[in-house]
Every structure is written in C-alpha cells, then in structure tokens.
C-alpha cells in the first residue's frame, strides 16, 4: 500500500491510499527480470485484462523498482557501497601500480620507498592517489596504505585502503584489507 499525503484547498493534509495489486517483485541484481510488453489490444487500465502485469500502474511500479535496483548496483561517484560497480571499478583502477589518470608520480624514500604519490597536474598540487609503505625490521613491506583523492584542487580524501600483511620471512601468508 502506498499512502500519499495531499493538501486540500484549505491547506489541510488529507491522504489517498493506493493498493498495488499483482505488482511483481524485482529480482535484479541476483537474476534478470522479465517485463511483459502490452500489445495494441491490451487493456492497460483494468486489472482484469488477463495479465495484471500489463496494468499501466503496475508497469510503472515495476520499471521504477527495476531502475532503482540498477542505480543501486551501479552506484554514484565514489560510492561507499562495496557491492556497487562504481566502488569496484574505482578500487581496481585506483590501486594499480600505474594510475590511469596520473600525470606525475613522486617517490619519496629510497631504496625502500615510504610514499608514492600520483598527481593529476605537473605542478603537483592535485593528488589522485597516495601509497604509503610500512616495513618490518628486515625491510619487508608489512603495511600498505592507499589514499584515494577526488582529483580536485581541494584534494578531498574519498577512501582509505589499508592492507596489513602477515609474513613468513619475505613471503606473504595473509593479507587483511580495511576500507574506509
């Protein structure tokens, strides 16, 4: 049931209830939905048209729910939902050794780098990604911190990814990732 609040001519709130019958549940993103298409002779205004899914209001409800599911799966820019495509793509692209938009890379520390920063501009003022390395007593990397920035002059930090590594000598045996 959907309850819509309306103001009458005097400014008082009234309500209207709409019971949505026979609307289908949306299966996406776990499986694909099948939406029936009306024909030229389909009655779209009556629930007794033979197929309640063809009722005009049900079609709107089903397609609106499907669109909401698609938007949720795609995500918004710098989405925090770890199941969204935007989150996954940004996580993959922005944590690679080479940055897909980077113009200048600055490495600090050597021969064991402490920080690698990718900048969007030659003036090195707009950060894209910053990687910081932590080492154990034998100079094996045991922590990697990746900071992802929005690529604007204000350098807004959008996400921090920390990988803590457990080592057996120089060999990694476990990695725990924290994303915030």
For the chain, 180 residues long, the average pLDDT of each consecutive 10-residue run is 44 43 62 75 66 74 80 73 69 56 82 90 88 93 90 87 91 89
Give the whole-angstrom CA distance, residue 169 versus residue 175: 15
Bridge partners for 163 per DSSP = 144, 177
Q: Are 29 and 73 in contact (CB under 8 A)?
A: yes
So what's the pLDDT on residue 1?
33
Q: Where are the domains of the chain?
A: 2-74, 92-179
Cβ within 8 Å of residue 64, ≥6 positions away: none
So what's the pLDDT on residue 58?
76
Closest CA to 63 of 77, 73, 53: 53
Q: Give the number of other CB atoms < 10 A from CB of residue 33.
A: 14
- Give, in words, the CATH class of 92-179: mainly beta
């Amino acid at each position: 049931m959907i309850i819509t609040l309306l103001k009458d001519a005097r400014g008082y709130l009234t309500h209207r209830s709409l019971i949505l019958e026979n609307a289908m549940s949306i299966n996406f993103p776990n499986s694909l939905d099948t939406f029936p298409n009306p024909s030229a002779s389909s009655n779209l205004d009556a629930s007794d048209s033979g197929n309640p899914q063809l009722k005009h209001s049900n079609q709107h409800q089903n397609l609106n729910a499907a669109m909401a599911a698609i938007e949720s799966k795609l995500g918004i820019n710098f989405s925090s939902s770890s199941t969204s495509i935007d989150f996954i793509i940004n996580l993959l692209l922005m944590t690679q050794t080479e940055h897909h938009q980077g113009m200048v890379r600055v490495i600090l520390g050597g021969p064991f780098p402490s920080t690698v920063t990718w900048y969007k501009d030659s003036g090195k003022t707009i950060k894209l990604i910053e990687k910081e390395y932590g080492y154990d007593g034998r100079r094996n990397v045991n922590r990697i911190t990746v900071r992802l920035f929005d690529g604007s002059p204000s350098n807004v930090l959008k996400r921090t990814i920390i990988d803590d590594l457990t080592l057996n000598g120089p060999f990694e045996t476990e990695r725990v990732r924290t994303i915030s």
